[in-house]
């Protein structure tokens, strides 16, 4: 099969042993790549007793057959390991340039195990991999560190490099990927896994081209595909992921005040349109992406100046802005910049600060706990100062860096009632009361409250995908059909994470399921249909569920936090029904072929070849 190097690089930091694992065609057919390879390795190589922050945990970074091809929006990879934040399957999908540079070194993925005696970084290039001393950059932020690393290797390189938060093993630490732009594998505490291994960075640059079956055919298809993608994503690219903030606030999807409020007139102050009109200096794109949704912002005046770099994405604006009621765009930009530098997940950081603001309001924490910082709703200063404390693990920031679930347990009393997470992962900025498919997605996604597992909210609004049975947008707040649509989209998105294709390729139907199948066949030389690729997605999704059930996950863990199931909201345009999770889960399990406890049945596993 073509489109792969058929090699996984394996590095054991304890023994400093480096090996190459060959991949056979049957594995490629069954799991395709990306999340498929990662889930298989994680299932096979960890146990119920694996400590997420112990040397026995694995850190896997996997590309797919679309990586380093002409397929647009495919410069991404999937990072996996046992999550220190949730204690279950951890995964994070990240863009930028690292994936393409890495695949060009001649490997499809890398697995790191063990723990180095002293801090090290990996330099992965055409000639192999070197384990090098990282002590000169310990304590330095990701951007300073990347500058140094490029000086030691090549300025063309891309560095997956943790900051102080990962070094100090904050459970909400991500892995910034610094090339010409910064992108984070932010979710599930993968930065802490790197920190636990004394692994500061993985730096890569290569020049080897992978052989594809019909590269000319793919090139020809791009002559029509690329102009179409540019046309339908023009508005999305112009205003970025946060262009729809005002819309989402009006629809009741935007998270407000730790998910307890309904309306917020200030949403417009932090929208992508305001950013565009005030501080936007340009757009950033992941390698080979025609959409260019990334924001280059510059702030030259005011208390948070200077900032010149990445602007916040929608999810960051939703969690740091909406959830905390902070309408100061400059403060959000500063906190976002600090997260990129410290290596913190902006979504978990914003969520835990919102949780702390409510705890402060309720008297569970006071200024004696916060070094005098008034943790009031709407305080941009508090947002920035708490982000610093979390990133550097100072004062109460040490506890906050453990995430909402652990902080609530530590505070005790009624904190659990307003601790918003599923399985330990703080949600994305999409309200499951507005989009019930997202309620199901938060409940059943392997990593916890994840909207990307289904990316279904646009399919309750405007999108359809007839190839997988979604002939028209699905009605919101309706039980009938929601489980089927959510499951089918989860399966489709899992397939995308195996091939490696960005969700945003679905905006405006820029890329269809038919395109995806055609391009996979052109790259690999196979002749499959959408049914066969969906079967791969379903196999991987079930394997991830199996991994979690081995760790004790079942129906009891698939419910949402109390606020989503009991706290109603009011206001024009706000849907007042709450998601009936019991019924939604029952429908979902039946469609998935799982039993009433949410465990895949033996028949289903046999059918999937698991």
Partner 1 sequence: MRFLFSEPFIKVAGKELEFPISSPVSLRALIGRFPPDLIKIIHHENAVSDVELWAHVMFFNKVRLLRLDDMIDNDETIKVLLPATGG
Q: What does the H/E/C string look like for 229-241? A: HHHHCHHHHHHCH
User: For residue 354, which of 452, 261, 444 has the smallest C-alpha distance?
Assistant: 261
The closest of 529, 492, 525 to 511, measured between CA atoms, is: 492
Q: Choose between 73 and 241: whose C-beta lies nearer to partner 1.
A: 241
CA 248 – CA 582 distance, rounded (Å): 26
d(CA 339, CA 174): 9
Let me know: does 218 contact 71? Beta carbons within 8 Å.
yes
Should residue 87 be labelled a site residue for partner 1 when binding is judged by CB under 8 A? Answer: no
Pick out residues in 564-593 that bind partner 1 (CB under 8 A): 572-573, 575
- CB of residue 315 to partner 1, shortest distance in Å: 4
Q: How far is the CB of 103 from partner 1 (least distance, A)?
A: 25
Tokens of 265: 């007139």
* Interface segment toward partner 1; rule CB under 8 A; list 70-78, 190-198, 238-246, 576-584: 238-246
Residue span 300-319 as binding mask against partner 1, x where in contact by CB under 8 A, dash where not: -------------xxxx-x-
Count the residues of the shown chain that bind partner 1, applying the rule CB under 8 A: 46
Q: Say if CB 285 and CB 296 are below 8 A apart.
A: no
CA distance 469 to 478: 17
Kindly state whether residue 429 participates in binding partner 1, applying the rule CB under 8 A: yes
> Residues 6 or more apart from 520 whose CB is under 8 A from it?
65, 66, 499, 526, 528, 533
Choose, by CB under 8 A, the member of 421, 430, 526, 592 that binds partner 1: 430
Q: Which of 247/394 has CB closer to partner 1?
A: 247
> Is 315 or 337 the residue whose CB approaches partner 1 more closely?
315
Does residue 551 interact with partner 1 by CB under 8 A? no
- Whole-number Å distance between alpha carbons of 183 and 222: 26
Q: Least CB distance from residue 584 to partner 1, whole Å?
A: 20
Q: Which is nearer to partner 1, 170 or 293 (CB)?
A: 293
Tokens of 347: 């979504």
Would residue 78 be called left, alpha or beta, if left means φ above 0 and alpha means ψ between -120 and 50 degrees? beta
User: Looking at 31, 37, 98, 239, which residue binds partner 1 (CB under 8 A)?
Assistant: 239
Q: Does 509 bind partner 1 (CB under 8 A)?
A: yes
Residue 229 CB, nearest distance to partner 1 (Å)? 11
Which of the ranges 165-173, 225-233, 400-408, 587-595 carries the binding residues for partner 1, by CB under 8 A?
A: 225-233
From 463, 483, 485, 543, residue interacting with partner 1 (rule: CB under 8 A): 463
* 534 sits near partner 1 (criterion: CB under 8 A): no
Our finding on whether 284 is near partner 1 (CB under 8 A) is no
Residue 453, token pair as written in the block:
């597992």
Specify the residue for token string 């924490």.
365
Residue 298 is a binding residue for partner 1 (CB under 8 A): no
Interactions with partner 1, residue window 46-85 (CB under 8 A): none
* Residue 478 lies near partner 1 (rule: CB under 8 A): no
The b/e string for 529-550 (b: 16+ C-beta within 10 A; e otherwise) is ebeebbbbbbbbbbbbbbbbbe
Residue with tokens 């498929």: 36
Q: With respect to partner 1, which residue has the nearer C-beta, 395 or 473?
A: 473
Which structure tokens are listed for 143?
A: 């951007």
| Chain contacts with partner 1 (rule: CB under 8 A) | 231-236, 239, 241, 243-244, 246-248, 250-251, 253, 268, 271-274, 276-277, 313-316, 318, 428-430, 451, 457-458, 461-464, 473, 504, 507-509, 572-573, 575
């Amino acid at each position: 099969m073509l489109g792969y190097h058929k090699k996984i690089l394996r590095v054991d930091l304890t023994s400093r042993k480096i090996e190459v694992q060959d991949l056979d065609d049957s594995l490629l057919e069954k799991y395709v790549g990306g999340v498929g390879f990662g889930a298989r390795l994680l299932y096979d190589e960890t146990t119920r007793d694996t400590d997420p922050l112990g040397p026995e945990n694995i850190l896997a970074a996997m590309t797919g057959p679309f990586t380093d091809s002409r397929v647009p929006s495919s410069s991404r990879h999937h990072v996996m390991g046992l999550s220190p934040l949730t204690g279950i399957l951890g995964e994070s999908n990240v863009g930028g340039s690292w994936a393409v540079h890495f695949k060009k070194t001649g490997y499809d993925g890398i697995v790191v195990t063990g723990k180095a005696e002293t801090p090290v970084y990996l330099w992965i290039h055409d000639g192999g991999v070197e384990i090098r001393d990282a002590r000169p950059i310990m304590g330095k932020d990701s951007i300073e560190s990347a500058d140094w690393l490029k000086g030691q290797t090549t300025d063309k390189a891309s560095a997956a490099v943790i900051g102080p938060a990962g070094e100090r093993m904050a459970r909400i630490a991500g892995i910034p990927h610094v090339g010409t732009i910064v992108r984070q594998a932010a979710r599930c505490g993968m930065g802490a896994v790197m920190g636990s291994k004394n692994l500061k960075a993985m730096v890569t640059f290569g020049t080897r081209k992978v052989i594809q079956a019909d590269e000319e055919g793919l090139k020809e298809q791009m002559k029509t595909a690329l102009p179409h993608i540019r046309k339908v994503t023009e508005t999305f690219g112009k205003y970025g992921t946060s262009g729809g903030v005002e819309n989402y606030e009006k629809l009741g999807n935007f998270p407000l005040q730790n998910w307890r409020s309904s309306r917020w007139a200030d949403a417009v102050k932090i929208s992508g349109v305001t950013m565009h009109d005030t501080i936007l200096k340009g757009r950033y794109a992941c390698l080979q992406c025609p959409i260019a949704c990334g924001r280059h912002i510059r702030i030259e005046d005011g208390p948070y100046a200077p900032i010149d770099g990445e602007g916040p994405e929608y999810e960051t604006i939703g969690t740091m802005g909406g959830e905390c009621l902070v309408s100061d765009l400059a403060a959000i930009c500063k906190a976002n910049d600090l997260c990129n530098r410290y290596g913190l997940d902006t979504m978990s950081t914003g969520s835990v600060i919102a949780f702390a603001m409510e705890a402060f309001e309720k008297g569970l924490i006071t200024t004696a706990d916060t070094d005098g910082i008034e943790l009031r709703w709407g305080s941009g200063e508090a947002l920035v100062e708490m982000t610093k404390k979390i990133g550097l693990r100072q004062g109460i920031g040490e506890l906050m860096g453990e995430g909402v679930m652990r902080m609530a347990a530590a505070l005790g009393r009624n904190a659990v009632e307003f601790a918003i997470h599923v399985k330990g992962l703080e949600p994305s900025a999409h309200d499951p009361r507005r989009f019930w498919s997202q309620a199901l997605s938060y409940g059943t996604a392997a990593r916890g409250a994840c909207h990307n597992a289904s990316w279904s909210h646009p399919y309750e609004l405007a999108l359809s995908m007839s190839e997988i049975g979604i002939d028209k947008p699905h009605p919101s707040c309706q039980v009938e059909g929601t489980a089927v649509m959510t499951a089918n989209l989860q399966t489709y998105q899992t397939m995308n994470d195996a091939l490696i294709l960005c969700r945003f390729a679905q905006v405006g139907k820029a890329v269809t399921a038919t395109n995806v199948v055609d391009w996979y066949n052109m790259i690999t030389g196979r002749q499959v249909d959408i049914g066969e690729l969906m079967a791969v997605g379903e196999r991987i999704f079930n394997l991830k569920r199996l991994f979690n059930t081995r760790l004790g996950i079942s129906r009891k863990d698939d419910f949402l936090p109390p606020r989503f199931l009991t706290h109603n909201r009011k206001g024009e345009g706000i849907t007042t029904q709450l998601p009936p999770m019991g019924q939604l889960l029952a429908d979902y399990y039946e469609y998935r072929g799982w039993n009433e406890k949410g465990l895949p049945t033996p028949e289903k596993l046999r059918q999937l070849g698991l």
